[in-house]
């Protein structure tokens, strides 16, 4: 494996870790449930995607990479469904969102 691939993989892993941290900060910092959905969205798409991409570069062309691609594929398809189910359940339970009515 070339040194360039190695460095690129570490950039992906550390970048992904940063986005996971951002998602975690967002979940603690944002004011209500609906806005926290967006923070989880950050760590689910960008954070998980970059960490898995970094691991794929480490794995090279092998069975390991195929499994990582499958993990990513399942995450991409189940993630929005779970988020939507949560948002719809909260909406149906009449959980009040914080809304900013000012005109932009």
Partner 1 sequence: MSNLKHAFNLTLFLFAVWLLLSGHYTPLMLVLGAASTLLVVFLAIRVAIIDREIQPVLLKPSVLFYWFWLAWEIIKSNLDVTRRILSPGLPISPKIFTVRAGQKTELGRVTYANSITLVPGTVTMDIDEDIFTVHALTQAAAADLERGEMNRRVCSVENVF
Partner 2 sequence: MYIVVSIVILIAIAAGLLRAFLGPTLYDRVLAVNMVGTLTVLIVAVLGFMTERPEFLDIALVYVLISFVSTIAVLRVYAHRNTEAAGGTTGPGDK
Binding region for partner 2 (CB under 8 A):
10, 13-14, 16-18, 20-21, 23-25, 27-28, 33, 36-37, 40, 43-44, 47-48, 51-52, 55, 58-59, 63-64, 67-68, 70-71, 74-75, 78-79, 81-83, 85-86, 89-90, 92-93, 95
Q: How far apart are CA 99 and CA 104, in angstroms?
A: 13
Give me the least distance between CB of 72 and partner 1, in Å please: 12
> How far apart (Å, rounded) are the C-alpha atoms in residues 45 and 79?
9
Cα distance between residue 43 and residue 19, in whole Å: 6
């Amino acid at each position: 494996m070339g040194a360039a691939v190695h460095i690129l993989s570490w950039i992906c892993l550390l970048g992904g870790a940063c986005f996971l941290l951002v998602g975690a900060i967002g979940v603690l910092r944002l004011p209500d449930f609906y806005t926290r959905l967006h923070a989880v969205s950050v760590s689910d798409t960008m954070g998980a995607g970059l960490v898995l991409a970094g691991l794929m570069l480490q794995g090279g062309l092998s069975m390991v990479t195929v499994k990582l691609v499958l993990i990513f594929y399942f995450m991409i398809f189940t993630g929005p469904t779970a988020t939507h189910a949560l948002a719809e359940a909260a909406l149906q339970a009449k959980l009040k969102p914080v809304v900013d009515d000012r005109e932009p």
